[in-house]
Structure 1
Amino acid sequence: MPQSGLLELAHEKLHWPTPTQILEPLGAGPSIYARMAREKLGRTISKLPDGHSVQIGVLAANPEGDSTEAPIALVCNFEMEVSEATLRETYKLAWSFSRTPSLITTEPNRLRIWTCYEKPPNESESIHPVVEVSRRELESFSQSSLSEKAAETLRLHWADLVTGQFFQEYSQRFQRSQAADQMLLSNLKSVRQQLNALELDYDTIHDLLARIIFIQFLFDRKDSQG
């Protein structure tokens, strides 16, 4: 008998929405976010050596609602174990997506939740999920257990995620100032101040800022072959 996927186990044990509601939400708002995520992340991840089977969706408070409220998390469901290089790229893309506070990755034997409010580490630095739960731990999870690991898993319960309790519990790793859009604004403000110190007029400053953004956009563009 085939094993249940980690998203199915999360539905059974932690009362998350069903895998279908995560990967293919019907609500107008969540479905738009899911489609954007597949376009922004899927194109790159699917071309990685171990990322071709990735399924991408969103964990939304109401997967069938019309609200455009930001989802709780981006979800990348991998059908095989993936390399650290693939996780790094996925993490970087989720951070750049800048529309959810967290990223959830699932592999056959582990589920991890990452913060999208921390700048991705460089190649010499390690990457650290906020919480990691193995298949065995999720299968044996019981809310009545007093073990430390069960307590950590309990923090991933749907009630804690949807109410924001999880993010309060790990507030040090969810500082909005480190989100990609906030860092962009901060950097642009700094450049603007430096240009202003050169006594340039504001029209020229704003034109230069627009060109900086466009040039960086071109640097980050990739063709269909990556």
Structure 2
Amino acid sequence: MLDIAAISKRYGETIALSDATIAFRPGTIHTILGENGSGKSTLVKILSGIVQPDSGTVRLDGRAITGRNPADFQAQGFATAFQEVLIAPDRSVTDNILLGLDGLWRRNIPRARRRDRAAEVLARFARTEIPLDLPAGRLPLAAQQLVVLARAVARDPRILILDEITAALDFADRESVFAFMQRQAAEGRLILFITHRMDEVMALSDDISVLRSGRVVQSGPRGNATPADLLRVMAPQTAEELRSHAHA
């Protein structure tokens, strides 16, 4: 469905990604693992159209994507919910969820349907009751995160990228979001999931790609991998230190 081939990106002297190649299968939750600075954020930005790779190809359904900005990627079925809570604080929850879906000169969703549409999207995964007419900036952080996710889901994407979006959520909302992700994958969509929580990795992943220092060091089905196995690939030095302490 989606693959990246030999993607490289550098910022001055810093190599963010080096010759990264990953194949993403439809109908899966594909987790991207890596320590800070491993290249995860750069990969997310490339697949969101925010930054351009210096070299390499992104292919969707076997065809190279020529998109140069987020709108191009969104038009091809991508949507991203970022870790940073990006909202228009003075606009209503409804307006925030539907932000970007309207055309420049007219509303694609009729005014009478807007509130219902926002409520429908939130009901798919949110357990917390969120007032649709309240300015989004007055919501608690966890509720704002649900609004950010709803904005991505409202686009009905084929490829949904979730960048550390569960960190601020309470248990009920987090579990509900996980169930939603699994339903989306069961419908044939692709979920790219970035998380540092190993319990989430083990519970949800169909496929896992591990990044280290900008390189893809492992990629494929989760199989029988344990958290310790993944830590050894992701951060060999940390894994060795933990092993030494355990045997001390």
Fold equivalence (TM over 0.5): no
Name whichever structure is richer in strand by fraction.
2
TM-score by length of 2: 0.25
Q: Relative CO higher for 1 or 2, CA cutoff 8 Å, sep ≥ 6?
A: 2
